[in-house]
Amino acid sequence: MSIPAFADIWSHLERATRERSPFNFLSLASLGLDGSPQLRTIVLRAADGKAGTLHFVTDFRSPKIAEIGRDPRVALTGYDPVRNGQIRMSGVARLVEDEIVRKALWDRLRGGTRTLFEAPYPPGTPLTEDGAGPADPAFRPEEGDLYDRFAPVEITLSHLEWLDLAATPHLRCRYGRTAAGWASSRLSP
């Protein structure tokens, strides 16, 4: 069995930005400010196979923004139960500052997603038991425009692995970014 084409694997990621797919939701790992590993689910918003980049969005006040600012190395994984395939990726994340790209990502968000940026408190703020306000009464809600809280993040991938568990025998391959493009190699599953 031959190694799948790099473009075919990327097509799964690109499709996940346009329609329902198992790769809509990926697990993102970063290094916490205290040095511990942090893992959370993100929604894939854009994928560019030619550039080797992925985008997701978050609240600017989210801890992951500070984590990425301190150490931009991240890893992602996703699993497709229908195809019985796993994708693993690693690269470097950065906050998107290009206003044209930022605005384009904002404009693609649905109203329900935009309301997430209405939260008066940063993600992870301890709240009272009933959720009516912060546990610390001295903590004040933040004012500001929703767009000011919008933080698109771009990940430039350095490695991508595909594990096909439906194949017999299982097939695992790795693509690594080089100066000349992407180099592939087959790995033991």
pTM: 0.90
Q: Report d(CA 17, CA 118) in Å as an integer.
A: 24
pLDDT at 172 over 70: yes
Domains and CATH numbers, the chain: 6-120+140-187 (2.30.110.10)
Burial 61-76 (b: 16+ CB within 10 A, else e): bbbbbebbeeebebbb
Dump pLDDT digits (tens) for 154-169.
999 999 999 999 989 9
Dump pLDDT digits (tens) for 33-86.
999 999 999 999 999 999 999 999 999 999 999 999 999 999 999 999 998 999
